[in-house]
Amino acid sequence: MTQQATTAIQQAANGGQVATQRKPVDILKSIMNAESVQEQFKNALGKNSETFVASVIDLYNGDSNLQLCNPKQVVMEAFKAATLHLPINKALGYAFIIPFKNSKKDEKGNWIKVYEPTFQMGYKGYIQLAMRTGQYRTINADVVYDGELRKVNKLTGEIAFDGERKSDKVIGYFCYFELMNGFSKTLYELY
C-alpha cells in the first residue's frame, strides 16, 4: 500500500464527518466514492476500477462480520487486491477480504476483541499470478481418492497417481506444475 493511497483513504474517511452516527456501509461508500480514492483505484485498475469499487461495496454490504471492521481498513485491504488485478468476489475465489476477530489492548490496557479485515489470496489468485508470468506450461491441483495413489519415490519425489479408484474416500490432495523450460514438480498432502 502506497503512502499516497493510505493518505487518500484517511482523508476520505474523515472528510464527511457529521454529528450523527453513520452506518458502516455509508462510511465505506463515502470513502470509496471520494475522488482521491477513486483516482488510486483508477491508477491501479484503469478502466475496470468502477466495477471493482462496486464489488467491494457489494461485498461489504453483504457481510455482517466485515461491517464490524473499520471501513478504512477494508478499503486498504481491497487496494491490495486491486494492485494485483484480482477481483474480490467470493464466488470467483481469486481474492478475499476476511474479517478476523483479533485480541488487542484498548487505550486503558484491557484486552478486547476487534474485527480486523485481512486480504487473503485464494488458490485461483495464485494460479492467475503464476500464469501471468508466462513461465508455466501447466498448473493443476485435485483430490486423490483411495486406491489412486500407487507409488511415491522418496529419492526423486516422483508420485504416481495411476492406481484404480477403490472408493469415494478422499485420502489426500496433490498439486502439479510444469515450467516452460521443462522443470516440473508434484506435491502430495495427506488428508
- Closest among 29, 71, 73, 24 to 53, alpha carbons compared: 29
Say if residue 117 is in the same domain as residue 35. yes
Say if residue 103 is in the same domain as residue 142. no
Say if residue 72 is in the same domain as residue 34. yes
Say if residue 32 is in the same domain as residue 106. yes
Please list, in sequence order, all residues whose beta carbon lies within 8 angstroms of the beta carbon of residue 80, skipping any fewer than 6 positions away: 1, 119
> For residues 118-144, b (16+ Cβ closer than 10 Å) or e, as one string?
ebebeeebebbeeeeeeeeeebeeeeb
Would you say residue 152 has pLDDT above 70?
yes
Could you list the residue range(s) of the whole structural domain that residue 33 is in? 3-128
Say if residue 114 is in the same domain as residue 162. no
| Whole-number pLDDT of residue 163 | 83
CA distances from 172 to 4, 165, 188 (A): 45, 13, 7
| Whole-number pLDDT of residue 162 | 86
* Residue that terminates a domain, selected from 90, 108, 128: 128
Query: 84: exposed, middle or buried (C-beta count within 10 Å: 0-12, 13-18, 19+)?
Result: middle
Say if residue 14 is in the same domain as residue 53. yes
pTM (predicted TM-score): 0.76
Say if residue 18 is in the same domain as residue 50. yes
pLDDT digits (tens, 9 = 90+) for 43-66: 999 999 999 999 999 999 999 999
Say if residue 61 is in the same domain as residue 147. no
